[in-house]
């Protein structure tokens, strides 16, 4: 089997990625990075009182927040982190299956990672590994000192 060349810039662990959530929406929603492969990231988020809508289902906005968090971090992993960050400029999501409990897992893979625009495919799965949501996220690489 051919090995996949890593798309990431430098060495990072899931612990490094989880530290990014400190003091952010990712921390509030309990998003946890669980895996980093050569060309993908995986993160989980609980389906609970923080992430459900009033009718007891996983809130679509929480799904999108998970997708954007994972996609933004994926872009950050691809660039020189001393100089650049990624900021979201477009996201869409199709909600396919309702989730009422447990957790969801986001799997983020690149569609295009070159230049200043990175496009990510993010799929969310329930605990039965059924597809719940699919999202496409576009992230712009900008100078870190711009903000």
Average pLDDT over residues 19-27: 97
Q: What is the pLDDT of residue 147?
A: 74
Is residue 54 scored above 70 in pLDDT?
yes
Query: Would you name the residues annotated as active-site residues?
Result: 68
Average pLDDT, the chain: 96
Domains of the chain, CATH where assigned: 14-146 (3.10.129.10)
Q: What is the pLDDT of residue 128?
A: 98
Q: What is the pLDDT of residue 5?
A: 87
Q: What is the pLDDT of residue 25?
A: 97
No. of H helices and E strands in the chain?
3, 6
Q: Quote the CA–CA distance of 144 and 31 in Å, as a whole number.
A: 23
Asked if 104 contacts 70 with a C-beta cutoff of 8 angstroms, the reply is: no
Tens digit of each residue's pLDDT (9 = 90 or more) over 95-110 = 999 999 999 999 999 9
Q: What is the pTM of this model?
A: 0.95
**Closest-CA residue to 59 (of 102, 100, 18, 15):** 100
High-pLDDT (> 90) share of the chain, %: 94
Q: Quote the CA–CA distance of 50 and 55 in Å, as a whole number.
A: 13
DSSP state at residue 102: S
Q: What is the pLDDT of residue 101?
A: 98
- Token duo for residue 53: 């809508």
Tens digit of each residue's pLDDT (9 = 90 or more) over 66-89 = 999 999 999 999 999 999 999 999
Residue 130, burial from CB neighbour count under 10 angstroms (0-12, 13-18, 19+):
exposed
Q: Quote the CA–CA distance of 31 and 46 in Å, as a whole number.
A: 8
Q: What is the pLDDT of residue 73?
A: 98
Asked if 62 contacts 45 with a C-beta cutoff of 8 angstroms, the reply is: yes
Q: What is the pLDDT of residue 2?
A: 57
Alpha helices (H) along the chain: 14-19, 25-28, 60-78
Tens digit of each residue's pLDDT (9 = 90 or more) over 117-132 = 999 999 999 999 999 9
């Amino acid at each position: 089997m051919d090995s996949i060349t890593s798309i990431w810039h430098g060495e990072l662990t899931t612990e490094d990625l989880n530290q990014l959530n400190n003091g952010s929406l990712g921390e509030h929603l309990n998003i946890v990075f669980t895996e980093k492969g050569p060309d993908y990231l995986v993160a989980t988020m609980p389906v609970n009182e923080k992430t459900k809508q009033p009718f007891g289902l996983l809130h679509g906005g929480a799904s999108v927040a998970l997708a954007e968090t994972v996609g933004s971090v994926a872009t950050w992993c691809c660039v020189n982190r001393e100089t650049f960050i990624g900021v979201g400029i477009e996201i869409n999501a199709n909600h396919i299956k309702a989730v009422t409990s447990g957790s969801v897992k986001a799997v983020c893979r690149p569609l295009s990672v070159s230049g200043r625009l990175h496009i990510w495919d993010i799929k969310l799965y329930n605990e039965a590994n059924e597809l719940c949501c699919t999202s496409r996220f576009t992230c712009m690489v900008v100078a870190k000192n711009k903000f």
